């Protein structure tokens, strides 16, 4: 019995991508479907990194195709193709960086930097090329959290090489100044320094650059959100009313400059006593979830108030690399996957498709 292409597509259509909720046929992710007698081969293109899920998806797709009468050997190749997506109107993409994600909070002390570093490490663990820009000029923390010391090198005298650990490229003002040296700079100087850190770093082909934003919604944050080509922003808050008040301001700032909100992460959502197991909502309950509902944005997940998260970040081995198979790392990985999937669904960047028009005067 010959195998028809339509029968194969109908079978493949029964497999739903658990991350997008769509089947691969309707989403036009199936490529190069080939039938040679009873042998079937095809490719599946994913728009987000999913190294840990590929084997299970392949087994599910092979099982689905084998339900087709006459189907013999089945070969499925799943691969990830991450592309650049649209940013704010009038802002140009940076070379070698496909997508830039701001991790922001209106208030300091809510765990924004810890969230940023674990999201970056989670994306890298799934196979993406990832970088972190530590945009907090006055309080850089990524050198400590990423366990990196040293100064950036310059091979050409005009650009800096990013430092690297755990497969993630990192740039921070913390690499350029002594740790106990305060940055006594006014806003324009800090903004200029940040611009240089972003544009004069020789990033090596990044799928995602995570920007650990400084807390607040002042001049530096506004300039960054207007001038840096952002694919989207993740808002980090605690359930506490005063933190939510400032988080709302951060969310509104991004909305005003046309940066999509990818979702809200609720930090320190619950504390479980390590001795007796008593559960307590120290900073309140479900404040981030309510904020997400109020603004009709995705609630990406909740992280507990847990001593290990702080200890691991302070030691330069954040949770995703310290306990990659632990419960807390799983939450970070789920949040990272949702961010990547949301970006994959966003409008693509087509600026590179258009020719550059130059006008010259006839002599």
In this structure, the number of other CB atoms found within 10 A of the CB of residue 13 comes to 14
**For the chain, how big is the Rg over CA atoms in Å?**
23
Annotated binding site for ATP: 106-113
Phi, psi of 352 (to 5 degrees): -75, -15
Q: What is the pLDDT along the chain (363 residues), one digit of tens a residue?
A: 567 889 999 999 999 999 999 999 999 999 999 988 889 999 999 999 999 999 999 999 999 999 999 888 999 999 999 999 989 888 889 999 999 999 998 777 788 999 999 999 999 999 999 999 998 878 788 999 999 998 999 888 888 999 999 999 999 988 887 766 666 666 677 788 888 889 999 999 999 999 999 887 777 788 888 889 999 999 998 888 788 888 888 899 898 888 999 999 998 887 777 777 777 776 767 778 889 999 999 999 998 888 899 999 999 999 999 999 999 999 999 999 999 999 999 988 776 554 444 555 554
Say whether 170 sits in a helix, a strand or coil: strand
Which residue spans of the chain are classified as CATH 3.40.50.300?
A: 97-345
**DSSP output for 8-61:** HHHHHTTPBPTTTSSBTTTTT-EEEEEEETTEEEEEEEESS--TTTHHHHHHHH
Pick the closest to residue 2 from 35, 41, 42 (CA basis): 35
pLDDT at 363: 43
Count of helices and strands (H, E) across the chain: 11, 13
Which letter, b or e, does each residue of 253-278 get, where b requires 16 or more Cβ atoms within 10 Å of its Cβ? bbeebebbbbbbbbbbbbbeeeeeee
What CATH number has the domain spanning 5-80? 3.30.300.130
pLDDT of residue 362: 53
pLDDT of residue 361: 55
- Please report the DSSP string for 299-335 in residue order: EEEE----HHHHHHHHTT--HHHHSTTSHHHHHHHHH
Tell me: domain 97-345, CATH 3.40.50.300, correct?
yes
List binding-site positions: 106-113
Number of C-beta neighbours around residue 106 at 10 A: 25
For the chain, where do the domains classified as CATH 3.30.300.130 start and end? 5-80
What number of residues does the chain have?
A: 363
Q: For residue 353, what pLDDT is reported?
A: 53
């Amino acid at each position: 019995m010959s195998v028809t292409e339509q029968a194969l597509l109908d079978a493949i259509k029964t497999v739903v991508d658990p991350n997008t909720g769509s089947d691969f046929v309707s989403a036009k992710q199936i490529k190069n479907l080939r039938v040679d007698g009873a042998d079937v081969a095809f490719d599946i293109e994913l728009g987000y990194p999913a190294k840990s899920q590929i084997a299970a998806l392949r087994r599910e797709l092979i099982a689905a195709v084998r339900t087709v009468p006459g189907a013999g050997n089945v070969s499925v190749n799943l691969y990830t193709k991450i592309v650049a997506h649209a940013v704010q109107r009038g802002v140009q993409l940076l070379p070698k960086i496909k997508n830039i994600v701001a991790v922001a909070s209106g208030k300091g002390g809510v765990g924004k930097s810890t969230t940023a570093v674990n999201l970056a490490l989670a994306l890298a663990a799934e196979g993406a090329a990832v970088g972190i820009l530590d945009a907090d000029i006055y309080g850089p923390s990524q050198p400590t959290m990423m366990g990196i010391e040293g100064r950036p090198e310059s091979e050409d005298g005009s650009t800096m090489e990013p430092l690297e650990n755990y497969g993630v490229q990192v740039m921070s003002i913390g690499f350029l100044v002594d740790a106990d040296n305060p940055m006594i700079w006014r806003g324009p100087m800090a903004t200029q320094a940040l611009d240089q850190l972003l544009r004069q770093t020789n990033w090596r082909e990044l799928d995602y650059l995570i920007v650990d934003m400084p807390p607040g919604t002042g001049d530096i944050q506004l300039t960054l959100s207007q001038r840096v080509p952002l694919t989207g922003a993740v808002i980090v808050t605690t359930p506490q009313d005063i933190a939510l008040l400032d988080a709302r301001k951060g969310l509104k700032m991004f909305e005003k400059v046309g940066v999509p909100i990818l979702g809200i992460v609720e930090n320190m959502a619950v504390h479980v006593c390590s001795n007796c197991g008593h559960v307590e909502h120290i900073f309140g309950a479900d404040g981030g979830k309510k904020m997400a509902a109020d603004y009709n944005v995705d609630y990406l997940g909740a992280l507990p108030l847990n001593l290990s998260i702080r200890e691991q970040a302070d030691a330069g081995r954040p949770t995703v690399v310290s306990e990659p198979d632990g419960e807390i790392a799983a939450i970070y990985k789920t949040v990272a996957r949702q961010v990547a999937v949301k970006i994959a669904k966003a409008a693509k960047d087509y600026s590179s498709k258009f020719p550059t028009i130059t006008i010259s005067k006839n002599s």
